[in-house]
Amino acid sequence: MKKVLLAWGIVVALLAAPKSEEKEIVLVKITKDIPYIYVKHKGVPIKVMRIQDTEHLLLDDYSKTSRPCPPFCIHPISVDERVKTIATVEMIKFMRDKLNTGKGFVIDARLPRWYELETIPSAINVPFTLLEKGDKKVAEKIFKLFGMRVGKDGKWDFSQAKELAIFCNGVWCDQSPRLIRQLLKYGYPADKILYYRNGMQGWKLLGLTTVVEKEEIKK
Amino acid sequence: MKRIVLTLLLGVVLGWGVTDAELAVDINLAGKQRMLTQRMTKDVLMVVAGIEPQKAKEDLKRSMELFDRTIKGLMEGDSGLGLVPVQDGKVQEQFKKVYNLWKPFKERIEKVLSGKYSKEDLQYIRDHNMELLKEMNKGVQLLVGVSKKSKSHKAQAINLAGKERMLSQRIAKDILLLHLDPSSKEAKEDLQKSVALFEKILNGLRNGDKELGLAKTEAPWIVEELEKAQKMWEEFKRDMEKAKSKEELAKLMETSDKLLAQMNKITKMYEAIYNRRKKISSINSIVNSFVQEKENQKHIINLAGKQRMLTQKMTKEALLAALGQDRKGNMEALKRDMELYDKTLRGFEKGDRELDLPGTENPAVLKKIGEVQEVWKPFKGHVKQFLEKGDIKDLSYMVANNEELLKRSNDLVQTFKKVYPTNNYLEEARKEIVDIAGRQRMLTQKMTKEKLLILLGVKPEEHKKKLQQTVSLFDQSLHDLIHGNKERLIVKPTNKELIEQFKKVEALWKRLKPLYEKDSLSDVEKALIMKGNLVLLKEMDKAVSLCETVMEY
């Protein structure tokens, strides 16, 4: 099974590789000016675009309307007044302008099992529990990888820290708000955090490309 | 939904990556120094040739200051530039050599800037810029070597893209040298070589070049920028052929700067990819170890929960063997379960590879394990005796002490739960559900044991009461697991597979429950209980696994 998936992964990656001479007609664009974008997911170029079949309907678990609340309650637009909430177009632009130029990261705040099952291309997994259960040392390790530097006096310098666009399952999911609150608790600058509230459900409802690492039958 | 399947192993652990991540910055900036040696020389020549001398002086001053700061940063570190000194003797020795070459070179540049320079100063710059470049290049190569030691192959792209910056300035310098001295063979040859090398590297970055150790660039945003660089280069080459006047040369110098800026942009993109990969690997490594630890915790709690069930199952099997019900099969099962209980208990303390148990040094857990051992050691002795002789005295001991062993086994489960606390609603609820569902397994065995004791006439009234309680507890817990119970923190499942599994258990239970409650049983009914309890245990075990693993409860 693994081999099949690997082979499939390679084939898809090759298909996704850009061909500069190719002029593609895109019926369902992302915006009027953005037909698609390219990002890298674990070293593989991925073309992020919308499904071109205008009859397509979402049938998997992201078409589900109701889950028990609590814990799956609808979240307000803002997770924290200092943190900007973004929608899908802003997320796409972030990927194109910040991620691809090394200025930002797209963070999937869900537990690894969710991430492995399906995620947004280019996303790296930082489960919300990592900082909730971790301490300042764990935060320091992660923040350094986000570009934070530790000064000679031991103070954390976030001047070179990357911008983070954080998401989870959607408006009913509290995993990204919880990660954001932990980031703020440990001093990550609020103006370098973006909350993509629509999350996976919002992304999939627009027919945007996703990546799958472990193929399982979805419940 | 367009879903792309990637079967990639989560993060290859590349070691803790501050040095690796910072190394890309070192390679980029050390590489940039090569360009600066040529740019400074080109600017000096522009001053001398009177081609936009004021702008050339401003650029020269900036380049000189940047070179000076960077070489010091490469030796001592510079947080502003993001430079961390590489702790490698050869690298540091090389940078010191560059610094010693740089000091007299810098003095001459300063003289040019002040306007008080001699022919000897100019000659010195002309004679030594290539030496400075060569030695700086050696430093870059050593840094790439350090990077290769840590299995980083992308470093070569940063190095060579960076080298293009230098070549753009070296070509411009050679053009000026030829303008000032058209007969200079040296400049002509160097120009030809530099042009050829620039083209080879640019082509290598676009299409790959084994000789240069370059793979084809795949990142679309870099490919796009490389195409732009190619067009700029073609334009530069066209203008280079015809540039004769000062104005034409000034325009050419401007184009060389644009080419430099473009190659600088591309180098930074390679550096960003290099750093991103390193960082993602490190983040994955942290997440993986965290996940592993969490999975281990669940696994330990699950095994500790199973121990409770084994205490009851062993007693039941001994009773069945004593009753002559599949004596051989039950004795074998008893032996297996005794060994499993013993192995697991030791594994909690010392670790066990087969059971994937890491062992513990936690004092609270060790204390509880000790308390279980106090009861388990004599219990195990009697099980062994019973297996050897089938003596009723040993069975009596098991009947009298199995509940104490169960109690202590349960205490150990609760201690593990305390040691591995959860701090979010979902996990807490899931943990409770797994514990309650896990306990159901034990109850299937306990009620069967109690039924047997009643049938054997061992304290029938006492065991009837106990059986009623066990049946009632199983019944209530199954109801809660199916329909939810807020007070007990049990969420009603919405997962179809889990709902189906609970329904299966419920159907089995509906058939078995009246038999446990019935006072006298026919042989067929007894046989139904003896077979049925194992099926119920198996199906309940499946439900527990689902409770643990389903994505969405």
Closest Cα in chain A to B288: A112
CB-CB under 8 Å, A5 with B3: no
pLDDT at A11: 31
pLDDT in tens, B95-123: 999 999 999 999 999 999 998 899 899 89
Do residues A168 and A109 lie in contact, with contact meaning Cβ atoms separated by under 8 Å?
Answer: yes
**Residue B353 CB contacts under 8 Å (≥ 6 apart), including other chains:** none
* Mean pLDDT score, B247-254: 88
Shortest distance between the Cα of B275 and any Cα of chain A, in A, equals: 8
**Residue B332 CB contacts under 8 Å (≥ 6 apart), including other chains:** none
- DSSP secondary structure code for residue B490 in this structure: B
- Confidence class for position B5, pLDDT limits 50, 70, 90: low
pLDDT at B8: 35
Domains of chain A and CATH, by start = 56-205 (3.40.250.10)
Shortest distance between the Cα of B220 and any Cα of chain A, in A, equals: 7
Single out the residue of B79, B80, B83 nearest to residue B71, CA to CA. B83
* Mean pLDDT score, B320-333: 91
* Mean pLDDT score, A187-203: 97
- Rounded Cα distance between B103 and B107, Å, is 6
Do residues B447 and B474 lie in contact, with contact meaning Cβ atoms separated by under 8 Å?
Answer: yes
Closest Cα in chain A to B225: A101
Residue B537 has pLDDT above 60, yes or no: yes
**Residue B510 CB contacts under 8 Å (≥ 6 apart), including other chains:** none
- Rounded Cα distance between A91 and A84, Å, is 12
Q: Which residue has the higher pLDDT, B514 or A114?
A: B514
- Confidence class for position B345, pLDDT limits 50, 70, 90: very high
Residue B16 has pLDDT above 70, yes or no: no
Nearest residue, CB atoms, A71 vs list B5, B425, B497: B425
pLDDT at A3: 26
One CATH from 3.40.50, 1.20.1440, 3.30.565, 3.10.450 for B291-421? 1.20.1440
Q: DSSP letters along B30-60, please?
A: HHHHHHHHHHHHHHHHHHHHTSSHHHHHHHH
Name every chain B residue with its beta carbon within 8 A of the beta carbon of A13.
4, 6
Residue B232 has pLDDT above 80, yes or no: yes
pLDDT at A13: 36
Closest Cα in chain A to B497: A219
pLDDT in tens, B284-303: 888 888 777 766 777 888 88
Shortest distance between the Cα of A85 and any Cα of chain B, in A, equals: 24
DSSP-based three-state secondary structure for B489: coil
- DSSP secondary structure code for residue B216 in this structure: P
pLDDT at A2: 28
pLDDT at B423: 54
For chain B, the domains span 18-283, 291-421, 425-430+438-553
* Mean pLDDT score, B351-378: 92
Q: Model ipTM?
A: 0.72
CB-CB under 8 Å, B282 with A41: no
pLDDT at B550: 66
Closest Cα in chain B to A59: B1
Question: What residues are paired with A46 via a beta bridge?
Answer: A39
Nearest residue, CB atoms, B552 vs list A61, A138, A144: A61
| Mean pLDDT over the full length of chain B | 85
A156 touches chain B (CB under 8 A): no
pLDDT at B422: 62
- Looking at chain A, the number of H-run helices and the number of E-run strands are 7, 10
Do residues B38 and B166 lie in contact, with contact meaning Cβ atoms separated by under 8 Å?
Answer: yes
* Mean pLDDT score, B174-196: 87
A185 touches chain B (CB under 8 A): no
* Mean pLDDT score, B19-42: 75
A171 touches chain B (CB under 8 A): no
- Confidence class for position A146, pLDDT limits 50, 70, 90: very high
Residue A86 has pLDDT above 90, yes or no: yes
Name every chain B residue with its beta carbon within 8 A of the beta carbon of A9.
4-8
Nearest residue, CB atoms, A219 vs list B282, B425, B496: B496
pLDDT in tens, B472-531: 999 999 999 999 887 877 888 878 888 999 999 999 999 999 999 998 889 899 889 989
Residue B552 has pLDDT above 70, yes or no: no
Question: How many CA atoms lie less than 13 Å away from B208 in the CB half-sphere?
Answer: 4
* Mean pLDDT score, B304-332: 92
- Rounded Cα distance between A213 and B401, Å, is 50
